[in-house]
Amino acid sequence: MKISLVIPCYNEEESLPIFYDELKRVSSEMENYEFEMLFIDDGSKDKTLSILQDFAKDDERVKYIAFSRNFGKEAAMYAGFCNSTGDYTAVMDADMQDPPSLLPEMVKILESGEYDSVATRRVTRKGEPKVRSFFARMFYKIMNKVSDTDVVDGARDFRLMKREMVDAIVDMCESNRFSKGIFGWVGFKTYWMPYENVERVAGKTKWSFWKLFKYSINGITNFSSTPLKISSFMGILFTLISLVMTVFVFVRALVYQDPVQGWPSLVCIILFIGGVQLFCIGIIGQYISKMYIETKKRPHYIVAKTNKEDVVKK
């Protein structure tokens, strides 16, 4: 049996050696399994690539695929899945937040045959800023309400999957990728393994609050058309309100002979409706811009350097 590990790395020179040592330790304990370590260098600006090349010199299990620029973690994971050949494939961060020591237990669960994938879920958000936790919770609530794909609160990308599931994910070739949604969308039986949140060993997180915010909006528009329904609903609501108002003004004019009044309120109403219209056009625009990107069918990533023969490009 062969296990492929997909590891997206972006400026991870500090944590990579620690991570690799731990991987070597864990893999030596799992003698019955062959390993393939696919490090995806996502256009790092530090020594990440040369560190990976050093690993590869002494260890033929290490394969690296270096992108021509930073394409983002989603593209890096996709490149890893497209190039993984193992019976089982795991995706994990290079910063030790996804502890390799959990692998033996995850493999055991897959071996039992009952599940197709083992995913991890952190039970605490210890060590995370309070505001970030709050917004993260809100995001999961909204996401689960508006989309029919299950996105588990606290779910990490760290998971081990059988070949069938990886193939299904590779077949989903959309440019706007949101893995948490994709994992849920393809289905398959998933075992959720809870664990305590671990902080990254070295280096800094690549996710600013703004980047996370954009990512979450992307997640919602990728897996739900509810925002579009909200704009249709607002259209109907305001039409009804205007009907009621028309009757009101009409009756008032007939009964009190007082038709011309309320210029300020009229301006407020016009501005309000104008705002709502722009907001709705914006929502439609979000979807159209996604369609625009999808129709271009640009490659997901561009490989600049690799030690893998016949690297799959998508």
Contacting residues toward Mg ion, per CB under 5 A: 93, 95, 97, 200
Q: Residue 41: which of ligand UDP, Mg ion, none does it interact with, CB under 5 to 8 A by kind?
A: none
CB of 146 vs ligand UDP, minimal distance in Å: 23
- 6 versus 283: smaller Cβ distance to ligand UDP: 6
Is residue 216 near ligand UDP by the rule CB under 6 A?
A: no
Q: Residue 279: which of ligand UDP, Mg ion, none does it interact with, CB under 5 to 8 A by kind?
A: none
CB of 243 vs ligand UDP, minimal distance in Å: 49
Query: CB neighbours of 283 closer than 8 A, spacing ≥ 6?
Result: 227, 228, 230, 231
Size of the residue set binding ligand UDP (CB under 6 A): 17
Residue written as tokens 């983002």? 72
Query: CB neighbours of 186 closer than 8 A, spacing ≥ 6?
Result: 165, 168, 169, 172
Query: CB neighbours of 218 closer than 8 A, spacing ≥ 6?
Result: 176, 178
Is residue 42 near ligand UDP by the rule CB under 6 A?
A: yes
Count other Cβ atoms within 10 Å, centred on residue 112.
Answer: 9
Is residue 168 near ligand UDP by the rule CB under 6 A?
A: no
DSSP calls for 232-279: HHHHHHHHHHHHHHHHHHHHHHHHH---S--HHHHHHHHHHHHHHHHH
- 28 versus 208: smaller Cβ distance to ligand UDP: 208
Q: Residue 12: which of Mg ion, ligand UDP, none does it interact with, CB under 5 to 8 A by kind?
A: ligand UDP
C-alpha 36/C-alpha 62 separation (Å) is 6
Q: Cα 219 vs. chain centroid, distance in angstroms?
A: 7
CB of 204 vs ligand UDP, minimal distance in Å: 7
CB of 251 vs ligand UDP, minimal distance in Å: 59
Is residue 8 near ligand UDP by the rule CB under 6 A?
A: yes
Length of the chain: 314
**Contact residues: ligand UDP, CB under 6 A:** 8-10, 12, 42, 70, 72-73, 76, 93-95, 97, 200, 205-207
